[in-house]
Chains A and B, each alone.
Chain A
């Protein structure tokens, strides 16, 4: 169960060597060009802006404290940090010189304007499904942004991955190119949902397990996956225990709109997704996503994990820690407080196959999303300073087994692995950058200090 860090490095190394061998046999091709789009207009810009939010472009293309869309955000991958690029219309350092065709090619094939392969940290395996018209609208909107001159940050990858041609081989294995094709057997809403989830929304980028090369395990689609730094994105399939099978369509919509519903609340990367992306989705799109997700299959043979190994002593230790530390909000019966503090009983996030997210939240705490419609941003404090790894394992095992919950066991090593992945920004702090309606427009709303003051300038006031 435990993720041994040394093991991960070894895996990466072995995989990469094999990859290097493989790629020599493959070549790239240039996709056919399609027609140019109509001229930009306000409606297209507005649609592009909406789509940029649907794609959650800001989350990766804006660095903490950086100018919007100017890149430089380190995308954590199992192989190293890949820095997002500048997608403002700056002609030298951004994509100001790109044509709509160039942009479409990048989205559609993962190959940029000068023919280089993009790393799949840029989720082109999903974006390939975006329609040409939508890609054009996105580019049209991006062209309206203020150009920011910022050179791209070099990636921090091992030497053997810096050769981008290798990606052709990766694509061969893991990349299905092609725009979304409507399925006539399903409703328009279902198809719209599929288009968003499988395409621009790139939900599977986190919620599907990846293999050691970073490719999605398509056979386990939406069974939950790695969301970086030991965060585990829980399953989106029809499973009752660790999927969204127990959620109604309305609960799926509410969760995406506000980050919480009666069954669960967002944490970590998903809070960012809600704040930067899903809260802005139209009602129709949210409903469509719910229709599509409610039609995802249950994972085959997902019986409850065998937990005989968890002895009475460990359960008792976990229960004691739970009573002493958790009941202020989650209550002794694990039911939380309806629509305030999320329940632990029956929660798919708590019972997820891998406990990374649960451990993360216990160690560092978490803040719920705080969109305008639900502004509170309730937070849980981190317990990492007062509980050691064994205790965290005990309490995590307890909440994953009490009240009828079932999930695989964790041990102290698993907790240690998460602990070393915690960054300061995981802890709910005053610098609530992730809880703003438009996070990147006002990065430090709650942290304004005199050194950021603007000196006097002529201004007009309604009161003068």
Chain B
């Protein structure tokens, strides 16, 4: 029996990047805002302190900062004719848990999607004809344009102190930047990071081929920074422990290092840790949320009434919450009806390892220290000859040289034994890896629903993921891998090892934590769960954040877009919704 609590105005489910951004904006209205976080509170000191955070085993290998499958996981299968089985330990992707969410353990690779990405279906049909899009590919326009989102990308850049080199300021192409990016209103707040040796070699090789390499935008500060909220950040010291770790010296943007100190000053904001939201409660009409129910760490159930509920959990978790709360019509791939769970997507990655003569010192790095090219992303090139849709960036990142998980060996190196040992000794310091980071389109058969068999610790069904790489993605990824191989060869290595992504999607090896979809945004309620303001079509006092609203996934890391959408939605809530609570888009 849930204890009913005193109402608040706005409840945020989860307390990561999107909740922090929303809380900061929404508390400015004077309303009471409460964030409910299933994990614990965490801060730079003591949790990510320099005294102990550089522990590869504890954090990267044993998943120190990630979701515990014992409490919450999902089931997975490649196709509808298989039986989905639980993801028993983490592998392919690593959702966060605790205050700051995955924003604590990300690398800081902060991109914007291309203007064409937001209108991918109409743009593709216009340029290549309707027949170019496979019948089972369910890509759709976002219902929002790059131009609408640009001010909010800018807000996030300046919140985080992004280090980078602009490539397009108000239509003017800038030397040294990414000439393919959408126009931005101003340059990055900080100059690019220092370059590692490997990125210098990549830069030269890419230039030699005729590509236009640029320093990848980084949420690792290249200098001390004070953001518009007055929050101070340190400067990156290239320790090489970003991804899967918290930052110990305040130089990687996270909710903790950019927003929380400001929120701490707001009396009308509060949060509760160890509170696992299990339901969004609806009134008898089913059209209005009355608050949420959550379970605390002692297993007690509470009902928290609120006038506005905003889902800010990790992508799939938002979808699970909607399904369990019976908000929106669940997607059915057989009848091709319903929307919640539809259009799950991911990203497809590959690598070309290069083995060089010189010492690269790979352990000196930063999560977003990279040099990249964008010639083959989105629709930056003519797809007609290739017969696939989408693309991705190619970059050489020097994120670090943590030896357990970040060593590369030549293709012919023995898998173990004396030969393995020799290969490790010969190559660890003299290797680098070029990554391709490709888009994954949405398909009728890629989706999320409730598992019929497996349950979480509360007895609720686990989310079921049905997903596989489709021929379009395999073809596209091979294309990117071939281009990356060209650059690898131009780096004049002793040897290189191309590792294209082939075969079925597997839940085992880590690929990327860029899971998207299931709660797509759009202009049509028949194919989307939320409108362009991220407001639920069916229950207007519920909003959904995060990459769950992506209708498909494009060729860049998603955090920049996730954050920009949160700023955009906050704007809509403050300037439109609060003035006249109700649907912001009428259809």
Contacts and interface: CB of A to CB of B under 8 A. Distances in A.
B308 interface: yes
16 contacts: A328-B237, A328-B248, A338-B224, A340-B233, A340-B250, A376-B232, A376-B261, A446-B41, A446-B264, A448-B272, A453-B3, A455-B4, A459-B6, A461-B307, A463-B31, A463-B581
B305 interface: yes
Given A375-B262, A463-B31, A341 B234 contact: yes
B232 A381 contact: no
Contacts of B302: 450, 453
Interface string B230-251: 1111110101000000001110
Contacts of A445: 264, 270
B50 A381 contact: yes
A380 B45 contact: yes
Contacts, number: 138
A329 interface: yes
Contacts of B272: 448-450, 453
A456 interface: yes
A437 B45 contact: no
B51 A437 contact: no
Counting chain A CB atoms within 10 Å of each CB, the highest count among B32, B44, B46, B232 belongs to: B232
Contacts of A450: 272, 274-275, 296, 298, 300, 302
A327 interface: yes
A427 interface: yes
A463 B51 contact: no
B224 A337 contact: yes
Contact of A381 (B5, B9, B31, B46): B46
Contact of B7 (A340, A367, A459): A459
Interface string A331-358: 0000001111100000000000000000
Interface string B152-195: 00000000000000000000000000000000000000000000
Contacts of B6: 453-457, 459
A131 to B, nearest CB: 34
A462 B32 CA distance: 9
B270 A448 contact: yes
Contacts of A339: 224, 232
Contacts of B9: 461-463
B412 interface: no
B224 A427 contact: no
A380 B273 CA distance: 24
A432 interface: yes
A443 to B, nearest CB: 13
Q: How would you classify the secondary structure of chain A's contact residues: helix, strand, loop or mixed?
A: loop
A380 B46 CA distance: 8
Contacts of B498: none
B571 interface: no
A454 B8 CA distance: 11
B22 to A, nearest CB: 15
Contacts of A383: 51
A291 interface: no
A372 interface: yes
Nearest to A383: B51
Contact of B261 (A338, A370, A427): A370
A428 B45 contact: yes
Contact of B265 (A367, A437, A447, A457): A437
Interface string B22-56: 00000001111000000001011110011110000
A59 to B, nearest CB: 20
B191 to A, nearest CB: 16
Nearest to B49: A381
A228 interface: no
B61 interface: no
Given A340-B235, A453-B6, 6 more contacts: A325-B51, A329-B249, A365-B45, A376-B261, A461-B31, A463-B10
A456 B249 contact: no
Contacts of B305: 456
Contacts of B508: none
A189 interface: no
A442 interface: yes
Interface of A: 325, 327-329, 337-341, 365, 367, 370, 372-383, 385-386, 427-430, 432, 435-437, 442, 445-450, 453-457, 459, 461-464
A377 B239 CA distance: 23
Interface in B206-232: 224, 229-232
B420 interface: no
A107 B17 CA distance: 51
Interface string B560-571: 000000000000
Nearest to A331: B237
B161 to A, nearest CB: 12
Interface of B: 3-10, 29-32, 41, 43-46, 49-52, 224, 229-235, 237, 239, 248-250, 261-262, 264-265, 267, 270-275, 296, 298, 300, 302, 305, 307-308, 578, 581
B231 A376 contact: yes
A459 B46 CA distance: 38
Contacts of B52: 386
A463 B224 CA distance: 40
A427 to B, nearest CB: 7
Contacts of A381: 45-46, 49-51, 248
Contact of B264 (A325, A375, A455, A459): A375
A427 B230 CA distance: 24
A338 B226 CA distance: 12
Nearest to A260: B232
A434 to B, nearest CB: 12
Contacts of B50: 325, 328-329, 381
B274 A449 contact: yes
A375 B265 contact: yes
Given A380-B45, A442-B267, A462 B250 contact: no
The 3 closest A-B pairs by CB, nearest first: A463-B307, A381-B49, A379-B45
Contacts of A338: 224
Nearest to A368: B232
Nearest to A428: B45
Nearest to B300: A450
Given A328-B248, A456-B305, A375 B3 contact: no
A437 B269 CA distance: 14
Contact of B234 (A325, A327, A340, A435): A340
B234 A337 contact: yes
Contacts of B230: 373-376
A102 to B, nearest CB: 35
Nearest to B231: A376
The residue among B248, B264, B270 with the most chain A CB atoms within 10 A of its own CB is B264
Contact of A463 (B3, B239, B267, B308): B308
Nearest to A338: B224
Given A340-B224, A445-B270, A461-B7, A375 B46 contact: no
A340 B234 CA distance: 6
Contacts of B273: 449
A454 B270 CA distance: 13
A429 B46 contact: yes
A428 B51 contact: no
B237 A456 contact: no
B264 A370 contact: yes
A430 B48 CA distance: 12
Nearest to B48: A381
Given A448-B271, A449-B273, A456 B51 contact: no
Contact of B43 (A340, A430, A464): A430
Nearest to A327: B237
A455 B224 contact: no
Nearest to B296: A450
Nearest to A330: B249
A93 B53 CA distance: 49
Contacts of B270: 445, 448
Contacts of A337: 224, 234-235
A339 B226 CA distance: 10
A453 B274 CA distance: 14
B5 A436 contact: no
